[in-house]
A and B are shown apart, each in its own frame.
Chain A
């Protein structure tokens, strides 16, 4: 028996002596993470007009970089190297001093004016691996548009890190009743420079951008009956999308060539209709004796999220455009509305009523998993995504 113990001991030792796996398996998921740290040397400017625009350009570039994406601009007071772009700026940079202050990348460049045009050339260095991130690029705009130029450059910087353009140079279309009538307005993504798109003293609602950002669809009551209108930049066109006499409550532009979804009135109910961009090939998508509204395209245009009261209360549904199958998505809450499908991934943001106000939630259309996004005392409604799928704009009664 004791010999048995001895053998067991030997076996135990043998197990202890077995070749250990030297590989340490590690799973890094989420966490607080951090933003890309970008050091921006103040650009060099040619004597003359370019020099006078440098300050405005620099200020906007720094501001736009932090707005455009997951980027943090490194405080220039931390620089070990000069804060100004050296005169001979192109080509190799010493990376150690930049890496030493925690920068992922160094950006510098040069401003020049050619007549009334402002041209900016810039480079981005990956200081962690000490190589250029992309190529030297040249951006150009009218001298008066120096801020827009800075924003476009900031969006390009974000693209070089994430593969998706930043959104600082994008615009937001919205409805305001500041004149007493509901009119369509457009402003810069950061909220500046609001200007009216419509001014017809009737009711104008539901602006929807075309995929190229050059046109807007919106609903207007200016002709008495609600109709979907289309307006293009520079007002090259501004007219009804379809002149078929059928009332239309809303038009939603799909991605790429997917077409347009329309909410049409059918007596006391509404249905969804899909048409091509030129108005042809109308397809009825729903024929229910209920209200169907607020359609939102999936990014691959294969499905549509919409709101229906067919169950007795407004809830979200998913329509598969291939099979025409309709599936209920939300079951919790008595009022779920305004779905907006992320343009880059699977998530849908929507508003859900709690008491007298709405909160914003995210839902996974496949699993139905839901997560609260904005829950506060006021009411938060009508969410919409930025084109990069990283930001959501919404209307709120919270000051």
Chain B
């Protein structure tokens, strides 16, 4: 007999091989399960999160449409793969010295904007070195990249917050705002979730939001839930 065949037969017949085969089969089944069912919740985050902007009664009128003008200017410049902070681009002064600014440039339509955004996203995703926003490990757990972003945003908001000093004598004030930040760091919606009871303090918080040059969020659009409170000497 061919020794190889004998070997083969005995191998097939051995208990050890059966166990291995059984485990291998079980592992494949588990793998298939993971791929099939594990993928289901995975696709859910692809849906855009809901926007709550208009729901909340806001005493202050929404930011005028004029403000959105600068954001479309920014988007086409976002050709590099790395998201750049909009800081330098946003306050671009217009060359014309006279404020004959009645005929403002029309903001592009929503469809145009979306097309630009999509193009932008398509361009950057393949070349992204950092874990993409859909990386499972990066979701639902401590995320150092978002932690850094968060710290940056806090520092920027603090440095633009007039209420810190102006209301330091009333440290009990609390104003909570919800702010949607788009992929290039543009402010897409500001709503007051709970007022401090002092409209001037609320105003100082809203002012900080509008003056802050938000960096582009590293994992795409994000909703900030911001609590403002004055500083205290104690």
**Interfacial residues, chain A to chain B (CB-CB below 8 A):** 2-3, 6-7, 9-10, 13-36, 69-70, 80-81, 93-97, 99-101, 104, 128-131, 161-163, 342, 344-345, 347, 362, 364, 367, 369-371, 373, 389-390
Task: Determine, out of B81-89, B109-117, B203-211, the stretch whose residues face the partner at the interface.
Answer: B203-211
User: Which chain B residue has the least Cβ–Cβ distance from A21?
Assistant: B140
**Which residues of the other chain, B, contact A24 by a CB distance below 8 angstroms?**
146, 149-150, 153, 222-225
A168 and B203 alpha carbons, distance in the complex (Å): 23
B132 at interface, CB cutoff 8 A: no
Chain B 155-176 interface mask (CB, 8 Å, partner A; 1/0): 1011111111111111000000
With both beta carbons as reference points, the residue of chain A lying nearest to B139 in the complex is identified as A20
Cβ A17 vs Cβ B136 within 8 A: yes
**A-B contacts, 7 listed (Cβ < 8 Å):** A15-B141, A29-B229, A95-B66, A96-B93, A97-B94, A161-B166, A364-B234
Q: Are B141 and A26 in contact (CB under 8 A)?
A: no
Name A86's closest neighbour in chain B (CB-CB): B99
Quick one: closest B residue to A98, CB to CB?
B99
Option from A6, A31, A162 in Cβ contact (under 8 Å) with B30: A6
CB distance from B172 to the nearest CB of A (A): 9
Q: Is A80's CB under 8 angstroms from B97's CB?
A: yes
Q: Does B56 contact A (CB under 8 A)?
A: no
Determine whether the beta carbon of A10 is less than 8 Å from that of B66.
no
On whether A23 and B224 interact (CB within 8 A), knowing A80-B97, A390-B169, the answer reads yes
Say whether B41 faces chain A, with CB atoms less than 8 Å apart.
yes
Quote the shortest CB–CB distance from A69 to chain B (angstroms): 7
B162 touches which one: A10, A15, A161, A373 (CB < 8 A)? A161
Interface residues of B (CB under 8 A from A): 23, 26-27, 30-31, 33-34, 38, 41-42, 44-45, 49, 60-61, 63-64, 66-67, 91-94, 97, 99, 101, 136-137, 139-141, 146, 149-150, 153-155, 157-170, 198-200, 203-208, 210-211, 221-234
Q: Which of A28, A35, A345 contacts B169 (CB 8 A)?
A: A345
Cβ–Cβ contact B167 & A162, under 8 A = yes
* Nearest chain B CB to A332 CB, angstrom units: 15
In the assembled complex, the Cα of A261 lies from the Cα of B60 at a distance in Å of: 43
Partner of A22 from B165, B170, B223, B233 at Cβ < 8 Å = B223
20 more contacts with CB within 8 A, not counting A3-B23, A17-B140, are A3-B26, A13-B136, A17-B41, A17-B42, A23-B225, A24-B224, A26-B226, A28-B205, A29-B229, A30-B168, A32-B164, A35-B162, A35-B165, A80-B97, A128-B211, A129-B60, A161-B162, A161-B166, A161-B200, A162-B167
Which chain B residue shows the least CB distance to A363? B234
A2 to chain B: which residues have CB within 8 Å?
23, 27
**B228, A30: Cβ atoms closer than 8 Å:** no
Docked pose: A130 CA to B210 CA in angstroms: 11
* Chain B residue with Cβ nearest A367: B234
